[in-house]
């Protein structure tokens, strides 16, 4: 099943006007709505469940939809949504260019957001998200949408999501392992200078094998991958700021050889830093 070829839904197919092809798209979904075929998107979607019930299959796991939930669907994720009578869902579709801005504001490592794609929102979180969604809707239909305002709204959404996922993590087995939180905190401090798991294991007085075991169990990736992900996320931020050269970014991240940095970046992302900078 996982090797099947799933259709890819493209962002451009939802764009109504040529001059709005790189803006967020906000759709209102109402039930009843039959579950669509399993597919991938080339964009990010945030599904805010306002009311009602349904089912959302995300990467082959079925999640029951209920009021005050947020579903995070990242590009390339396999999913399918169905809604029952009376359900109301706001779907915010984020173009891949703006997706980079949105992701840059996410504070936890990316794999956590992928592992917990459905967030049960607090009352405060639901109110805040609804308010921002409404603001985006008003801006999109204002006649002359301001791109800077829309991007600021995406950053605000990410900050709200950060708080909500932290709240949700407190009720998971992951939160019961403070070693991982300390590991991630140490990475944020030292990733530019220290690239090896042995450094972080030493700081926490544990073995590298134990650190790897925790990362694989709770994050489904090795300790090295967690470190690399943090480095790549920082590199992407700097590459997005066009004023920095590849050499400057390489040196800023602790790589004295820009060619080695470029190979490392491509090995993780699949494209070169130069190509990413051009996108």
Q: Report which of residues 95 and 89 the model is more confident about.
A: 89
Average pLDDT across the chain, whole number: 87
**pLDDT of amino acid 108:** 62
Task: State which CATH number among 2.60.120.10, 3.30.930.10, 2.30.40.10, 3.40.640.10 fits the domain covering 8-169.
Answer: 2.60.120.10
pLDDT at 257 over 50: yes
How many percent of the chain have pLDDT more than 90?
A: 54
**pLDDT of amino acid 100:** 73
Provide the pLDDT confidence category of residue 3 given band limits of 50, 70 and 90.
very low
**pLDDT of amino acid 2:** 38
Provide the pLDDT confidence category of residue 110 given band limits of 50, 70 and 90.
low
Q: Cite the residue boundaries of each domain of the chain with CATH code 1.10.10.60.
A: 174-278
* Average pLDDT value for residue range 169-183: 69
State the Cα–Cα distance between residues 218 and 226, nearest whole angstrom: 12
pLDDT at 170 over 80: no
- Which residues in 125-150 are b (16+ Cβ under 10 Å) and which e? bbebbeebbeebeebeeeeebeeeeb
pLDDT at 173 over 70: no
pLDDT at 82 over 50: yes
**pLDDT of amino acid 1:** 35
Residue with tokens 């794609």: 117
Provide the pLDDT confidence category of residue 143 given band limits of 50, 70 and 90.
confident
Q: Does domain 174-278 have CATH number 1.10.10.60?
A: yes
Q: Give this prediction's pTM.
A: 0.67
Provide the pLDDT confidence category of residue 253 given band limits of 50, 70 and 90.
very high
pLDDT at 73 over 80: yes
**pLDDT of amino acid 204:** 95
pLDDT at 179 over 80: yes
pLDDT at 216 over 70: yes
């Amino acid at each position: 099943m996982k090797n099947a070829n799933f259709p890819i839904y493209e962002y451009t197919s939802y764009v109504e006007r040529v001059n709005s092809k790189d803006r967020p798209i906000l759709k209102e979904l109402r039930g009843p709505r039959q579950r669509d075929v399993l597919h991938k998107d080339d964009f990010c979607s945030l599904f805010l469940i306002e009311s009602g019930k349904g089912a959302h299959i995300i990467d082959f796991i079925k999640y029951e939809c209920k009021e005050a939930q947020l579903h995070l669907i990242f590009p390339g994720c396999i999913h399918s949504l169905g809604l029952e009578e009376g359900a109301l869902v706001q779907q915010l579709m984020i173009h891949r260019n703006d997706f980079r801005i949105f992701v840059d504001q996410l504070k936890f490592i990316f794999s956590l957001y992928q592992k917990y794609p459905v967030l049960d929102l607090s009352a405060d979180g639901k109110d805040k998200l609804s308010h921002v969604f409404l603001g985006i809707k008003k801006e999109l239909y204002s006649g002359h949408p301001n791109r800077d305002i829309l991007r600021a709204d995406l950053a605000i959404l990410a900050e709200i999501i950060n708080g909500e996922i932290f709240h949700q993590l407190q009720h998971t087995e992951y939160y019961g392992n403070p070693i991982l939180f300390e590991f991630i905190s140490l990475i944020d401090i030292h990733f530019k200078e220290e690239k090896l798991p042995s450094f972080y294991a030493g700081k926490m007085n544990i073995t590298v094998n134990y650190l790897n075991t925790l990362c694989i169990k709770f994050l489904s990736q090795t300790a090295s991958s967690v470190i690399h992900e943090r480095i790549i996320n920082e590199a992407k931020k700097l590459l997005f700021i066009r004023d920095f050269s590849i050499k400057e970014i390489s040196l800023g991240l602790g790589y004295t050889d820009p060619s080695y940095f470029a190979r490392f970046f491509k090995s993780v992302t699949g494209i070169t830093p130069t190509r990413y900078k051009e996108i």
